[in-house]
């Protein structure tokens, strides 16, 4: 199986959205996805995020959706919002290829830090990140507020 890693384009957004929904279902939160593929097209066009894709034979089998932000302590930072590989392609090295390419992108952008979240029960992901020397913080709490429009 040949995997190609490439940057996403506007035409990829519906498939990217589908993979994000697949991740939400895996995380037992599929009902919380309120974005649409049209939102992805619009927001991607506005430059709000970038997506790295893993493809094989024209099929998108993995994504990393990220954006540039700022750490007041470290400077330029890349935030990895979602990292998902289709279930049937897990444990085949697809995730590692995506991750390695992502780290190259972070370095290429001159960022000092890449940051993301992982659910405490997601042992396969935690083990993957530990294997790749990621530091998993356990003393910070997530805080969010939903804004009603």
Cα–Cα distance for residue pair 133/78, rounded to 1 Å:
17
- For residue 28 the two structure tokens come to 């037992």
Q: Is 129 a catalytic residue?
A: yes
Phi and psi angles of residue 85, each rounded to the nearest 5 degrees, phi first: -120, 135
- Alpha helices per DSSP H over the chain: 13-26, 37-45, 94-108, 123-131
Contacts of 76 (CB under 8 A, 6+ apart): 68, 70, 109, 110, 111, 112, 113
Catalytic residue among 26, 67, 89, 129: 129
Residues with active-site annotation: 129
């Amino acid at each position: 199986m040949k995997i190609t890693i490439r940057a996403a384009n506007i035409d990829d957004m519906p498939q990217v959205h589908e993979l994000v929904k697949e991740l939400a279902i895996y995380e037992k939160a599929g009902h919380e996805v309120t974005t649409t593929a049209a939102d992805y097209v619009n927001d991607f066009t506005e430059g709000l995020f970038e997506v790295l894709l893993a493809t094989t034979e024209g099929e998108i089998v993995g994504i990393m959706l990220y954006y540039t932000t700022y750490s007041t302590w470290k400077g330029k930072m890349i935030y990895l919002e979602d990292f998902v590989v289709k279930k049937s392609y897990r444990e085949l090295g697809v995730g590692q290829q995506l991750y390695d390419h992502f780290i190259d992108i972070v370095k290429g952008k001159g960022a000092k830090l890449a940051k993301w979240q992982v659910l405490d029960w997601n042992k396969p992901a935690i083990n993957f990140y530990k294997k790749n020397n990621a530091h998993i913080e356990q003393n910070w709490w997530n805080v969010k507020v939903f804004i009603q429009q």
